[in-house]
């Protein structure tokens, strides 16, 4: 890796770290009191197992992203990082999709199952969940770029190099 490519790589990793960290912070700080009797008195992310899963997954990836920033450039562990990137991106993707599915029901409800939308009752909470989801999505995009780049370097799937 030459210097500018390494800088670009570190910058992307730093952005991914920032995205997962802000996803966790925004989600954890989201709570709103509701005066409506259909909802419990305080709405928090811990009320839904999918949102809890989102927080746990993003926390794990945040810690990992932080540690990788300090890996020496010539370390042989970079090979392991490719596999860890893959596994942790799966985790991010899975938690993002689960949280999005719940957020969609919270926003639109599901008339077939008689689940009412709750976002009109707790708009602040819903907006924060939405913000956390956007941060999570940005992190997924960045890890996807890093991963495709690693795979591209290792396997050259589009046959751009001459043999």
Binding site for its own copies (CB under 8 A): 38-40, 43, 47-50, 76, 79-80, 82-83, 86, 89-90, 93-102, 104-106, 110-116, 118, 144, 147-148, 150-152, 154-159
Pick the closer one to its own copies by CB: 25 or 31. 31
* DSSP-H helix ranges across the chain: 3-28, 49-68, 78-108, 123-155
Q: What are phi and psi of 32, to 5 degrees?
A: -150, 135
Distance, CA of 139 to CA of 89 (rounded, Å): 9
Pick the closer one to its own copies by CB: 50 or 59. 50
Pick the closer one to its own copies by CB: 19 or 105. 105
Of the CA atoms within 13 Å of residue 9, those in its CB half-sphere come to 19
Q: How far is the CB of 94 from its own copies (least distance, A)?
A: 4
Burial 102-139, CB ≥16 within 10 A → b, else e: bbebbeebeeeeeeeebbebbeebbebbbbbbebbbbb
Q: How far is the CB of 62 from its own copies (least distance, A)?
A: 19
Q: How far is the CB of 58 from its own copies (least distance, A)?
A: 14
Pick the closer one to its own copies by CB: 35 or 113. 113
Report whether 84 contacts 129 (CB < 8 A).
Answer: no
Pick the closer one to its own copies by CB: 10 or 32. 32
Report whether 50 contacts 102 (CB < 8 A).
Answer: yes
Q: How far is the CB of 157 from its own copies (least distance, A)?
A: 4
Q: How far is the CB of 17 from its own copies (least distance, A)?
A: 20
């Amino acid at each position: 890796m030459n210097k500018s490519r390494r800088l670009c790589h570190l910058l992307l990793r730093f952005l991914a770290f920032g995205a997962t960290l802000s996803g966790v912070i925004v989600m954890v700080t989201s709570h709103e009191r509701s005066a409506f009797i259909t909802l419990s008195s305080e709405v928090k992310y811990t009320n839904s197992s999918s949102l809890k899963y989102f927080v746990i997954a993003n926390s794990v990836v945040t810690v990992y992203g932080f540690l990788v920033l300090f890996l020496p450039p010539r370390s042989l562990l970079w090979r392991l990082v490719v596999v860890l990137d893959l596994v942790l991106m799966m985790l991010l993707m899975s938690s993002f999709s689960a949280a999005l599915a719940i957020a969609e029901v919270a926003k639109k409800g599901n008339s077939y199952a008689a689940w009412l939308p709750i976002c009109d009752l707790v708009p602040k909470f819903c907006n924060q969940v939405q913000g956390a989801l956007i941060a999570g999505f940005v992190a997924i995009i960045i890890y996807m770029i890093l991963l495709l780049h690693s795979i591209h370097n290792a396997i050259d799937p589009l046959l751009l190099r001459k043999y």
